[in-house]
Structure 1
Amino acid sequence: MKKAYRAALLRFDPEGRALYDEDGLLVVGPDTEGRQRVIDAGSHAAVAPHHVDVAVTDLPGRILAPGFIDMHIHFPQTDIIGAPSEGLLPWLENYTFPAESRFADPAHSAEVAEVFFDELMRNGVTTSLTFATSHPASVTAFFESAQKRQLRMITGKVLQDRHSPDGVRDNTEQSLVDTETLIRRWHNVDRLGYAITPRFAPTSTDAQLQGAGELAAKYSDTWIHSHVAENKDEVAWARELFPQARSYLDVYTGFGLMRERAVYAHCIHFDDADRQLMRETKTASAVSPTSNLFLGSGFFDFEGADRVDYRYGLASDVGGGTSFSPFATMLAAYYVGREGQTKPGVSIAPSQLWWRHTGGAARALGLEGVVGNLQPGCEADFVVIDPKATPLLARKTALATNLEELLFAMIVLGDDRLIERAVISQALPN
């Protein structure tokens, strides 16, 4: 059965430009498999005459927008968000690895997965590319919880067979067997996708990276998910371990781990040869500004990425990141754009920040036209936003004279209170 929602409506054209209707209408209905998709969207005056028989839910004063996409987040690090540290490598040793070792326990994995998805939904994040741990139980718990909620989610077992403590270090051969077993069990089941996930090059042997590359070639529509060039100490370590590679990024090229649907978090300490390699291989960056600021890792070069024109989108990187909220991530990206560039003073338009956390992130993930937008054919994942959620927001958004001012007011002043609810593209029961 078709449904229609009347409210202000935010969506994007194929070039990533924002389209906004103050009085909009979003019409959704089941596809041939029973899943809710966008049938029509636009101004109420233009769309309503074509759907006179569809019941309309009026949402006065609200904004309908695509569900946010988080391109890089660690669900097992939910409990260590805000843990103090001197930097990335000490943070991993003192907080991350001890917390992740607990995910060998299926009950603990299942408990945290529920908390994690509750937080995503509360913050309007309807899709994420997510790290699990090296334990298959963590992957199973994640997928079972996501499947129950009918979410479009991606994760995979972490591969780390060296330079890792007991409790998270895995066995090379078994890790690859487990990965293939999990791919066959979960990839493309309902709305779920599998990501082949080396933690980062220094924590995998050549044999494990080679095996990951072979699986990535065999299962070519899976994702690849890892970290690169986040921290200068990490970059120096990778140079010592892989002296034959031109750069840290080039390590992954040598193992067949750069292609479409490959996503690398951070990508801070790059040169133009690295950026060109990203473009040529259609590999994407997951930009994690709250994490990079929190851990003192450095600044993503937005100007360099746009100049070379390779794919990227925004990510929270919880628990190195400091908030599940896309508004916190977008604001941090704005700060980085203003202060941390080779050419100072880059000002990222608010609508572009929003795009990089929705439709632009979907494009980077190879999911354009599936999620991240409210154009016809997209799955009907969207958020209902209350721009008057707090007294200050109500005052500030009422003063906005154009869309950029409205979006920026929400980015600067917003948090989970802006998200009245998230609507998921659920399948109708048989």
Structure 2
Amino acid sequence: MSATRKAYRAALLHSVADPADVGVEQSYQYFEDGLLVVDNGKISALGHAGDLLPTLAADIEVVHYQDALITPGFIDTHIHFPQTGMIGSYGEQLLDWLNTYTFPCEKQFADKDHADKVAKIFVEELLRNGTTTALVFGSVHPESVNAFFEEAERLDLRMIAGKVMMDRNAPDYLVDTAETGYTESKALIQRWHGKGRLHYAVTPRFAPTSTPEQLALAGQLLEEHPDVYMHTHLSENLKEIEWVKALFPERSGYLDVYDHFKLLGKRSVFAHGVHLCDSECERLHETESAVAFCPTSNLFLGSGLFNLPQAEKFKVKVGLGTDVGAGTSFSLLNTLNEAYKVMQLQGARLSPFKSLYLATLGGARALSLDDRIGTLEPGTDADFIVLDYKATPLLDYRIQQSNNIEETLFVLTTLGDDRTIRETYAAGRCVHQR
């Protein structure tokens, strides 16, 4: 037994509930000198080091991190793998940005060799930034999804991805048909869904680029495979919303388009949701659907400010998304920095413990995976990260001024970035070391 066990000693912090539901003080668990015990890829114990150390067998290795904090691995609920090479592209809003930068970049993923090369870069960036699970857009090409899943499988990562379904309002070189979108997606589900720690997401790009026939077949895929995910965009940009109204005049709104085609449900994640009305929030809650809050890309493309208090009021599940390549960083710490500012601009506050929740347990709940990831609870996957208090001279100096874990956590989410991630573990195995 002890040969598969290992223990990690450091400060430990994880969310146990949403601060909006239980209050800040009841939302987290913190051990200033903690011990995390990992057994065969799962967490088997956590608690005070002084309590647990005497219970360990003499031959169990204990790794002791000084000036460090262990948290669950970060969970990115919306990111585009094929847009890695166009991150930081200048000067457009959503629809022009897609035509100018995104579609030409995604064209390259018909080439499996290119997809393989980018998959390695993309996964390395995720792990370097402490992200252990992501909900990932591929391109329209099955090659892109195969490349991503092959790399994720090699490292035994818990990842979710899907082939884009897009049969209109895009360049000829980047469209499928309603039928090929269905058959190619079905083949990918059969190959990858449930293999190791991998999951498939049915992925219509967004309502304007799918015909009613394709959206109906996306709904059919969900009916045929009830444990797969559904991943798309919703109410990101005002011009986009007007376009949807023009394309689907018979529907009462953007969300109603997806609702009509049976695309809402407990494994459905809608990126952005910047411009939602109360009735749409009610419907998202009723169907257990989730929204991915993508502050960095919403600011970069000038799309608007996500109303987190509105989502909380209607108890909508919310995760955090980097939305690379419109988002300008793979780092969820950097994304939380932007999220705090988005709340400030609306006269609202984002507490450090709500930030932690969004990046970990909130993301896990958005993905209906909170029984497996998002916390340090015994029995869950040993996906965790080690944050270095001394990652930069400024971070080191500023944390020395901190009076408590709340202040330290806020400093990490405002000054932290990829350098803050000392090590990343997936299923108990170190997959990144700075």
Question: CA offset at residue 393 of structure 1?
Answer: 0.5
Match of 1:171 in 2: 177
Task: Give the secondary-structure state (helix, strand or coil) at the position aligned to 1:185.
Answer: helix
Match of 1:322 in 2: 328
Match of 1:19 in 2: 29
Question: CA offset at residue 12 of structure 1?
Answer: 2.0
Match of 1:43 in 2: 48
Match of 1:33 in 2: none
Match of 1:375 in 2: 377
User: Does structure 1 residue 9 correspond to structure 2 residue 12?
Assistant: yes
Matched AA of 2:372: V
Task: Give the secondary-structure state (helix, strand or coil) at the position aligned to 2:172.
Answer: coil
Quote the Cα distance in structure 2 between the aligned partners of 1:142 and 1:70. Answer: 15
* Aligned with 2:227 (options 221, 230, 248): 221
Matched AA of 1:12: S
User: Does structure 1 residue 185 correspond to structure 2 residue 191?
Assistant: yes
User: Does structure 1 residue 394 correspond to structure 2 residue 396?
Assistant: yes
Quote the Cα distance in structure 2 between the aligned partners of 1:399 and 1:290. Answer: 28
Task: Give the secondary-structure state (helix, strand or coil) at the position aligned to 1:167.
Answer: helix
* Contact preservation (8 Å) 2:15, 2:360: no
* Contact preservation (8 Å) 2:43, 2:381: yes
Task: Give the secondary-structure state (helix, strand or coil) at the position aligned to 1:38.
Answer: strand
Quote the Cα distance in structure 2 between the aligned partners of 1:320 and 1:308. Answer: 28
Runs of 4+ in 1 over 4 A off after TM superposition: none
User: Does structure 1 residue 58 correspond to structure 2 residue 64?
Assistant: yes
Count of residues paired in the alignment: 419
* Contact preservation (8 Å) 2:177, 2:214: no
Quote the Cα distance in structure 1 between the aligned partners of 2:66 and 2:390. Answer: 12
Cα displacement string for residues 1-43 of structure 1 (whole angstroms, at most 9, x for unaligned residues)? 211011111112245612111100000102xxxxx10001111
User: Does structure 1 residue 414 correspond to structure 2 residue 424?
Assistant: no
Matched AA of 2:61: A
Unaligned 5+ residue runs, structure 1? 31-35
Unaligned 5+ residue runs, structure 2? 20-26, 430-434
Task: Give the secondary-structure state (helix, strand or coil) at the position aligned to 1:70.
Answer: strand
Quote the Cα distance in structure 1 between the aligned partners of 2:52 and 2:225. Answer: 41
Quote the Cα distance in structure 2 between the aligned partners of 1:144 and 1:267. Answer: 31
Quote the Cα distance in structure 2 between the aligned partners of 1:3 and 1:12. Answer: 23
Cα displacement string for residues 92-118 of structure 1 (whole angstroms, at most 9, x for unaligned residues)? 000000000110000000100000011
Quote the Cα distance in structure 2 between the aligned partners of 1:365 and 1:281. Answer: 13
Question: CA offset at residue 369 of structure 1?
Answer: 2.1
Matched AA of 2:9: R
Question: CA offset at residue 52 of structure 1?
Answer: 4.2
* Contact preservation (8 Å) 1:72, 1:128: yes
* Contact preservation (8 Å) 1:23, 1:43: yes
Cα displacement string for residues 72-96 of structure 1 (whole angstroms, at most 9, x for unaligned residues)? 0001000111001320000000000
Task: Give the secondary-structure state (helix, strand or coil) at the position aligned to 2:243.
Answer: helix
Quote the Cα distance in structure 2 between the aligned partners of 1:317 and 1:68. Answer: 14
Match of 1:289 in 2: 295
Matched AA of 1:221: D
Matched AA of 2:37: V
Matched AA of 1:367: L
Quote the Cα distance in structure 2 between the aligned partners of 1:161 and 1:187. Answer: 24
Task: Give the secondary-structure state (helix, strand or coil) at the position aligned to 1:72.
Answer: strand
Q: What aligned pairs does 1:7-406 form with structure 2 within 5 A after superposition?
A: 7-15=10-18, 17-30=27-40, 36-53=41-58, 54-339=60-345, 341=346, 345-406=347-408
TM-score w.r.t. structure 2 length? 0.95
Quote the Cα distance in structure 1 between the aligned partners of 2:317 and 2:149. Answer: 27
TM-score w.r.t. structure 1 length? 0.96
Task: Give the secondary-structure state (helix, strand or coil) at the position aligned to 2:174.
Answer: coil
Task: Give the secondary-structure state (helix, strand or coil) at the position aligned to 2:330.
Answer: coil
Matched AA of 2:55: H
CA RMSD, Structure 1 to Structure 2 (Å): 1.2
Identity %: 46
Quote the Cα distance in structure 1 between the aligned partners of 2:218 and 2:177. Answer: 13
* Contact preservation (8 Å) 1:150, 1:426: no
Task: Give the secondary-structure state (helix, strand or coil) at the position aligned to 2:354.
Answer: helix
